[in-house]
Amino acid sequence: MPAGIVLHDNMVLADPFLIRKSMIKGIGPALASTDGLDLTMSSIGMSLEVELHEPANLSLQMNPLAPPEVHEVTSFLVSPSMLSVTLEMASSRSIAVL
Task: Give the dihedral sign, CA 15/51/19/85.
Answer: negative
Q: Give me the pLDDT at residue 83, please.
A: 93
DSSP character for 68?
Answer: P
Domain containing 79 equals 4-92
pLDDT tens column, 43-96: 988 999 999 999 999 999 988 899 999 999 999 999 999 999 999 999 999 999
| Total domain count, the chain | 1
Q: Which amino acid is at 15?
A: D
Q: 97 lies in a domain? A: no
Model confidence band, residue 24 (pLDDT cutoffs 50, 70, 90): very high
Q: 62 lies in a domain? A: yes
Q: 98 lies in a domain? A: no
Q: 81 lies in a domain? A: yes
Burial of 41: CB neighbours in 10 Å, binned 0-12, 13-18, 19+: exposed
Model confidence band, residue 1 (pLDDT cutoffs 50, 70, 90): low
Beta bridge partners of 72: 57
Q: 88 lies in a domain? A: yes
Question: Of 54, 29, 53, 56, nearest to 40 (Cα)?
Answer: 29
Q: Give me the pLDDT at residue 76, please.
A: 97
pTM tops 0.85, yes or no = yes
